[in-house]
Amino acid sequence: MAINLEMVGYEYPKSQPLVVTVSDIQNFCVAIGDRKPDYKSDLVAPPTFVISLIMQAMTFAMNDPKLNMDYARVVHADQKFDYNRPIFAGDVLTVRMRIADIRQKMGSDFVTFETQVLDQSQQLLATTTSLLIVRGTDGAA
């Protein structure tokens, strides 16, 4: 059964508020091998830190029966980050994700997720765009 094309434009519920801690930033830096002192001594998160915030929303969407995405066939194709400002320890963030596009090419489904990260005053802090390919059953993509 193919991915549900009617899900284009679907917006998932906003996440519960997430408080970014110094420990969250430090642990992320260790996990990615980033030893830059600015990230550890200051309270600024590295640019890719938002991925740790949006993964819960992405996992929820990928397992959504309405979308019908076969996770075993998923290939991560592209990721883009657009920032309005850096993330700091102490920020209280919420995540809002929608399915921006689904295209079928070469027997595979190309699914674009757009995720917005909002700060404690609900100002847009960052937008991420993720492209996932769900390989067709014939081995395409």
* pLDDT single digits (tens) 5-16: 999 999 999 999
pTM, full prediction: 0.86
Q: Determine the pLDDT at residue 58.
A: 86
**Which residue ranges of the chain lie beneath pLDDT 70?**
1, 36-42, 138-141
Structure tokens at 99: 């399915």
Structure tokens at 137: 């059953």
Domain ranges of the chain: 5-20+50-134
In CATH, the number for domain 5-20+50-134 is: 3.10.129.10
The bridge status of strand 108-118 relative to strand 124-134 is antiparallel
Helices vs. strands in the chain: H and E counts, helices first: 3, 5
